[in-house]
Amino acid sequence: MNVIDHVRDMAAAGLHSNVRLLSSLLLTMSNNNPELFSPPQKYQLLVYHADSLFHDKEYRNAVSKYTMALQQKKALSKTSKVRPSTGNSASTPQSQCLPSEIEVKYKMAECYTMLKQDKDAIAILDGIPSRQRTPKINMMLANLYKKAGQERPSVTSYKEVLRQCPLALDAILGLLSLSVKGAEVASMTMNVIQTVPNLDWLSVWIKAYAFVHTGDNSRAISTICSLEKKSLLRDNVDLLGSLADLYFRAGDNKNSVLKFEQAQMLDPYLIKGMDVYGYLLAREGRLEDVENLGCRLFNISDQHAEPWVVSGEQKYEDGIALLRNALANQSDCVLHRILGDFLVAVNEYQEAMDQYSIALSLDPNDQKSLEGMQKMEKEESPTDATQEEDVDDMEGSGEEGDLEGSDSEAAQWADQEQWFGMQ
């Protein structure tokens, strides 16, 4: 074994701090004596050093080293003969297994996303030929395209993920969120449903989330309830969380709280959706419960938006700042609506209108955002009493008439159900 083999073995063993120190020293030696290591060895050193920086969350520095590694890789194609390295034994066949250039580009894209440089991330991944893109590359591209508003390439990338991995459920949700019909998405999973045991629920799951993304809250709730009642999927935390969110969107705050509480009992470490749960508790005046929830979430993780949003429920200014920070990374109808409500509470009416408008652009069927906007339009300067009445109104709304679904989507599913032999 030569010294590069030792660096590679430490990297594989997860000894990142050790790799960082040793690779830094070896790179300095190489700079002072270019003949010390061969081009393939220099490439490996740069990649392993960049990986250690990535692990330490020094993303800008990591990008710099990954870029140098790719430049070094180009030099390899110009060097047909490997120069002997001074002070090292002959390279073993294992040492010639160089880090994948595709993987290096993927890591660079990850760095760019952490630095909020999505355009650079897209550019580096776009440079990878389509036939060489792995499922995780296509998934990252799909998410980046979607965030950038480039729907067509996003749909193409999500479909490619499903072609390679037909049970990639998050890719399915991505397609549904981009208005791809549920029946079309289900047809892409038909083969795996028919050949793999115990997947008969999948077509119903796709149907449920197709209704979610068309704003058909009533049918979405009934379909997910039918799934949740099945013995094999009973007490699934993700399904309960979806039901809680749907009840909230439909204005049924009581059932929303019940489903959040049920999910919490099943998974005490649950974070997803807890910002909405905290919002509902605050609307009910359960401020002590909100405080306890915030403390519990911080004990689980402070790297998610939810604990910060919950902690801001009792201090609107803090909550507004935290919501804005969360929305910088994701555009979500419910978060925009909650931000609108917070802004009303601090008399920022025009910006509240803007937030309700954004929420409605993301989900035109969001009744609560529509109500908030209509109240803003009726009263240019609402009084504190009016604000309290608005909160009471929000608690009790959500009639069945508001939840009429898409007949065209249901008709397509009627055809699709025949394919899967559904009743």
Q: What is the pLDDT of residues 352-366, one digit of tens each?
A: 888 888 888 887 777
End-to-end CA distance of the chain: 64
- Residue 133 inside a domain? The answer is no
Say how far apart CA 283 and CA 314 lie, in whole Å.
10
Q: Which of 31-35, 176-180, 188-192, 369-373 has the lowest mean pLDDT?
A: 369-373
CA angle 133, 148, 302 (to 5 degrees): 90
- Residue 409 inside a domain? The answer is no
Residue 93, pLDDT > 80, answer no
Give per-residue pLDDT as tens, 100-117.
999 999 999 999 999 989
Residue 259, pLDDT > 70, answer yes
Strands (E), 131-175: none
pLDDT for the residue 371: 77
Residue 258 banded pLDDT, cuts 50, 70, 90? very high
pLDDT for the residue 87: 42
Helix (H) or strand (E) holding 238: helix 237-249
pTM of structure: 0.74
- Residue 93 inside a domain? The answer is yes
Residue 78 banded pLDDT, cuts 50, 70, 90? low
Biggest CA-to-CA distance, the chain: 82
Say how far apart CA 312 and CA 327 lie, in whole Å.
15
Residue 5, pLDDT > 70, answer yes
Give per-residue pLDDT as tens, 389-412.
444 444 444 443 343 444 555 555
pLDDT for the residue 383: 45
pLDDT for the residue 405: 44
CA angle 261, 264, 267 (to 5 degrees): 155
Residue 158, pLDDT > 90, answer yes
- Residue 243 inside a domain? The answer is no
pLDDT for the residue 397: 43
Q: Dihedral angle at the C-alpha atoms of 207, 367, 340, 338, nearest 10 degrees?
A: -50
- Residue 23 inside a domain? The answer is yes
CB 297 within 8 A of CB 271: yes
Residue 166, pLDDT > 80, answer yes
Number of domains in the chain: 1
- Residue 79 inside a domain? The answer is yes
CB 192 within 8 A of CB 199: yes
- Residue 94 inside a domain? The answer is yes
pLDDT for the residue 302: 74
Give per-residue pLDDT as tens, 231-257.
789 999 999 999 999 999 888 999 999
CATH (domain of 96): 1.25.40.10
Q: Which residues of 108-121 are buried (b: 16+ CB within 10 A; e: fewer)?
A: bbbbbbeeebbebb
CB 164 within 8 A of CB 141: no
Give per-residue pLDDT as tens, 11-29.
999 999 999 999 999 999 9
Say how far apart CA 175 and CA 157 lie, in whole Å.
10
pLDDT for the residue 387: 46
Residue 350 banded pLDDT, cuts 50, 70, 90? confident
pLDDT for the residue 75: 80
CB 192 within 8 A of CB 166: yes
Q: What are phi and psi of 340, to 5 degrees?
A: -60, -45
CB 259 within 8 A of CB 277: no
Share the mean pLDDT of the chain.
Answer: 83
pLDDT for the residue 423: 38
Residue 81 structural domain: 3-113
* Section 124-152 average pLDDT: 95
- Residue 327 inside a domain? The answer is no
Give per-residue pLDDT as tens, 170-212.
999 999 999 999 999 999 999 999 999 999 899 999 999 999 9
